[in-house]
Each structure stands twice: as C-alpha cells, then as structure tokens.
C-alpha cells in the first residue's frame, strides 16, 4: 500500500529515536512491498529556532495531508524559561488539537526479561497488561490561561461530548480485550470529575458486556503499584493520564519503552513515545528507541490497518528485549543504533520465516 508519513523529530533525543523508527518503517516497506513516503517537518524548539513558532503553518499543512504522523519529542532547557513567550510544548498541544486526536492510547506490558528492572517485586508484575486511554484535547491543558505578576490560572473544563467520545473509545477497546474499564477521576473534589463520572456511567449502559469501576486518582496512583495486574482499560482525563502513564512506565522498567497512539475520528493518527526529549542523554546516541519503534507498530495497526506488519515489529522488539542488546536505561550498554540494528535483524528473520511458511 501507499502511505504518506510525516515525521516530526523535534528536540533532544527526538531526532535520534525517530531516525531509528523510520529505519524500521523502511524495512517494513521493503519486506512487505509497501510504498511509504516520508516528509520531515519542524516542530517544537527546533521550529522556534528556525521560524519563531513551535508549529509552523507549513508543518500543520503537511500533517493535515498525511496518512499518519510520527513524532519524537519536543522541549528542553534551551526553551524552558518560565517567562518565555513561546514554548516547544505549545507546538505539540496545537498539533493534537488541530488534528482532533482526543484519544491517547498508551499500552503497558511488562516484558519478563525486564521485570527485574522494575522497582516492584517480580510477582506483582505477572500478567500486567493495561491499556491507558488518556483524554488528550481537553482539561487544564486547553482551558483559558491567565497570568499577572502575582496570580496565574489554568481553567479545567470538560464538556459532556468530550467525555462521551473518549469513554466510547475506551469501552470499544475493552470489548476487544478483557471487558473491564476503570474510570479514574477526582469526583470527590472536582466538578469536572463529577461531570466525567456521570457521563461515563451513562455511556457504560450502552456496553452491558463490559464491567465498569471508578477509582479516585490518588488511590489509583497507589493501586497501580500494588495491584497492577488488576487493570485492563483505564480511561482518564488529560492531566491524570499524563502523570499515571509515566508512573506506569516504571513498572515496565523504563520510560523509554512505552509507545502511544493519538487517535480522533478518522484513521489518521499521531504516534509518539510517551517520554520527552531526555535532555540529560540527548546527543549521546544512547536513547532507547523501543518506545518509538513500538509507536511505529501502532501506526501500522491503527492508521494503515497493517496488522501482520504491526505484529512483526512487535515480535522483533520482543526478541531484542529477550535476547539483547539492551540500551543503558534497561541495564545494557548498547547505543540507539545497535538496538535499532538488532530490531532490523529480528524483523528480517521474522519476515523471511513468514515468507518461507507462505511458500
Ligand atoms: P523526559 O521523558 O524527557 O525524561 C525523563 C527521564 O527519562 C530522563 O532521565 C531521561 O533520560 C529518561 N528517558 C526518557 N526517554 C528515554 C529514552 N528513550 N531512553 C532512555 N532514557 C530515557 O522527561 P523530562 O526530563 O521531565 O522532560 C524533558 C523535556 O521533554 C521537557 O521539556 C518536557 O516538556 C518534554 N517532554 C516532551 C514530551 C513529548 O514531546 N511528547 C513528553 C514528555 C516531556
Ligand atoms: C506527553 C508530554 C506532553 C503532555 C507535554 C510535552 C505537552 O508530557 O506527551 O506525555 O503533557 O501531554
Ligand atoms: Mn507526559
């Protein structure tokens, strides 16, 4: 198939992990006879430096025209002055809003070979398989902001329609999994959470086959560590989802391992690892590319409907996590390129053995 893919390397380790993931997409195209074109665009701090804006009009136009988008990360100390008039993160938020990608899927599994890296005891990590569905285009991130010399506000607003659509997405996804949705809110304190909870309860009635439970976000932060294998689909608002998924990444062994897919109504999606620009290791060639490579698998699955190819990428990553080489964050000494090459080799073996069995 033909597909136009816009790449948005961004800042810090963004370009390093994006390059590794593009190499994987190119290998998929070669093995499975697809025609993927790549169009690299500016976003974040790199875009501010080049154009003064974190999301230039040319970038947005290219993204609107693409079948799928692959992003590295944005931000870094260079642009982090709390009084700066413009920030790299505004580029990413603007892109999410412009594309209407309201559902951010962040799957968490724990590879047995990495369980010893988790701060949790091994037995807690058996059968951990959680799909976080984070609302991505509402809440405090997008409400009105004010700032004077001595006061600042971030309005947190949700509409029923915003909660309904992300809830439906979570229940649909739960139907293809273990039919269990946990909705996380702070309904004991926040009005937005009370609207969230009553909307979720109403939508849940459309899915009698799926079990719903509610959990307050503070206790959820604890339960994620004490009983992570209790959860199937976890749906929550923007800020809670941001925080809980970085916490969840610690269970997997590293923030560098988790992918994400941001989806709206159509097939087009924005794919990115959940980590940031990792300024402490940027430019050293040591970033773990696995979160971005697994994001490519999600891109193949959700935007291009190439399930076999998505599974081939996941199997190749699985093989590398099992046998190495491992990057530093997961206890090894391999650089980004060595991990990429190992994934490419495993993908090659996988594709050749599938071709052989098809003959
Ligand atoms: P971060 O995710 O960049 O880094 C946190 C820690 O995890 C660091 O020690 C880092 O070295 C490590 N880490 C992250 N990714 C890694 C990888 N692939 N391999 C190995 N180690 C990895 O979070 P931060 O330091 O809080 O934020 C830095 C900047 O990134 C900020 O400007 C923030 O706004 C931005 N950010 C961007 C995104 C995004 O673009 N989607 C996401 C999160 C943070
Ligand atoms: C993420 C990041 C972003 C967010 C920032 C960079 C805007 O932390 O993708 O998780 O908070 O959504
Ligand atoms: Mn985050």
Task: Name the pLDDT band for 357 (thresholds 50, 70, 90).
Answer: low
What residues are in contact with ligand 2 under a 6 Å CB criterion?
Answer: 75, 89, 92-93, 242, 274, 276
**Can you tell me the mean pLDDT for 191-213?**
98
**pLDDT of 358 over the 60 cut:** no
ipTM over 0.90: yes
Q: What is the pLDDT of residue 146?
A: 97
pLDDT digits (tens, 9 = 90+) for 68-124: 999 999 999 999 999 999 999 999 999 999 999 999 999 999 999 999 888 888 889
Q: What is the pLDDT of residue 355?
A: 67
Q: Which residue among the candidates 49, 64, 145, 218 is catalytic per the annotation?
A: 218
pLDDT digits (tens, 9 = 90+) for 23-44: 999 999 999 999 999 999 999 9
Based on the residue annotation, tell me whether 246 is a catalytic residue of this protein.
Answer: yes
Q: Are 280 and 289 in contact (CB under 8 A)?
A: no
Closest to 218 (Cα-Cα) out of 251, 245, 181, 185 = 185
Ligand 3 being an ion, which residues bring their Cβ within 5 A of it? 242
Of ligand 1's listed atoms, the one at least distance from the Cα of 89 is 34
**pLDDT of 359 over the 90 cut:** no
Q: What is the pLDDT of residue 63?
A: 98
∠ at Cα 31 (28, 33), nearest 5°?
90
Exposed e or buried b for every residue in 319-340, given b needs 16+ CB within 10 A?
bbbeebebbbbbeeebbbebbb
Going from the C-alpha of 20 to that of each of 26, 290, 319, the distances in angstroms are 10, 9, 17
Q: What is the pLDDT of residue 354?
A: 77
Best mutation site among 93, 140, 273 for ligand 2 pocket (most ligand atoms within 8 Å of CB)? 93
Q: What is the pLDDT of residue 353?
A: 84
Based on the residue annotation, tell me whether 207 is a catalytic residue of this protein.
Answer: no
* Mean of all residue pLDDT scores within the chain: 97
pLDDT digits (tens, 9 = 90+) for 303-316: 999 999 999 999 99
Q: Is the CB of 280 under 6 A from ligand 1?
A: yes
Q: Are 98 and 60 in contact (CB under 8 A)?
A: yes
One-letter-per-residue 3-state SS of 171-193: HHHHHCCCCEEEEEECCCCCHHH
Closest to 198 (Cα-Cα) out of 182, 214, 209 = 214
**pLDDT of 19 over the 60 cut:** yes
pLDDT digits (tens, 9 = 90+) for 261-288: 999 999 999 999 999 999 999 999 999 9
Going from the C-alpha of 290 to that of each of 200, 214, 275, 358, the distances in angstroms are 33, 32, 11, 29
One-letter-per-residue 3-state SS of the chain: CEEEEEEEEECCCHHHHHHHHHHHHHHHHHHHCCEEEEEECCCHHHHHHHHCCCCCHHHHHHHHHCCEEEEEECCCHHHCCCCCCCCHHHHHHHHHHHHCCCEEEEEEECCHHHHHHCCCCHHHHCCCEEEEEEECCCHHHCCCEEECCCCEEECCCCCHHHHHHHHHHHHHHHHCCCCEEEEEECCCCCHHHHHHHHHHHHHHCCCCCCEEEEEEHHHHHHHHHHCHHHCCEEEECHHHHHHHHHHHHHHHCCHHHCEEEEECCCCCEEEEECCCCCCCCCCCCCCCCHHHHHHHHHHHHHCCCCHHHHHHHHHHHHHHHHHCCCEHHHCCCECHHHHHHHHHHHHHHHHHHHHHHHC
Best mutation site among 84, 117, 255 for ligand 1 pocket (most ligand atoms within 8 Å of CB)? 255
**Can you tell me the mean pLDDT for 139-155?**
97
Is 295 labelled a binding residue?
Answer: no
**pLDDT of 351 over the 90 cut:** no
**pLDDT of 317 over the 90 cut:** yes
Going from the C-alpha of 96 to that of each of 13, 25, 26, 155, 175, the distances in angstroms are 20, 22, 25, 18, 26
How distant is the alpha carbon of residue 288 from its chain centre? 15
Going from the N-terminus, what domains does the chain have, and what CATH number goes with each? Answer: 1-106+255-359 (3.40.718.10), 119-252 (3.40.718.10)
């Amino acid at each position: 198939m033909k597909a136009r893919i816009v790449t948005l390397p961004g800042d810090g380790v963004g370009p390093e992990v994006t390059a590794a993931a593009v190499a994987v997409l190119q290998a998929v195209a070669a093995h499975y006879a697809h025609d993927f074109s790549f169009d690299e665009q500016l976003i974040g701090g790199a875009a501010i430096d080049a154009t003064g804006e974190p999301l230039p009009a040319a970038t947005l136009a290219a993204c609107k025209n693409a079948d799928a988008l692959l992003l590295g990360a944005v931000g870094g100390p260079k642009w982090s002055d709390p009084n700066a008039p413009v920030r790299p993160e505004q580029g990413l938020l603007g892109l999410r809003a412009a594309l209407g990608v309201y559902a951010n899927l962040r799957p968490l599994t724990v590879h047995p070979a990495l369980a010893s890296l988790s701060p949790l005891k091994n037995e807690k990590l058996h059968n951990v398989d959680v799909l976080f569905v984070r609302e991505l285009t509402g809440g405090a991130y997008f409400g009105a902001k004010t700032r004077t010399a001595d006061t600042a506000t971030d309005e947190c607003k949700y509409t029923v329609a915003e909660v309904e659509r992300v809830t439906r997405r979570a229940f649909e996804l739960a139907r293809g999994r273990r039919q269990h949705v946990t909705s996380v809110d702070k309904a004991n304190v926040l009005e937005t959470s009370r609207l969230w909870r009553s909307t979720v309860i109403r939508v849940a009635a459309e899915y009698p086959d799926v079990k719903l439970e509610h959990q307050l976000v503070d206790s959820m932060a604890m339960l994620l560590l004490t009983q992570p294998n209790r959860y199937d689909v976890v749906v929550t608002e923007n800020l809670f989802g941001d925080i809980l998924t970085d916490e969840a990444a610690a269970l997997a062994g590293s923030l560098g391992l988790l992918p994400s897919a941001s989806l709206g109504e159509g097939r087009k999606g924005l794919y990115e690892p959940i980590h940031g620009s990792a300024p402490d290791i940027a430019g050293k060639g040591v970033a773990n590319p696995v979160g971005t490579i697994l994001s490519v698998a999600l891109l193949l699955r959700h935007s291009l409907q190439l399930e076999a190819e998505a599974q081939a990428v996941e199997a190749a990553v699985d093989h590398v996590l099992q046998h190495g080489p491992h990057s530093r964050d997961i206890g090894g000494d391999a650089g980004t390129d060595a991990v990429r090459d190992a994934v490419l080799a495993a993908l090659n073996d996988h594709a050749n053995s599938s071709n052989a069995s098809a003959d």
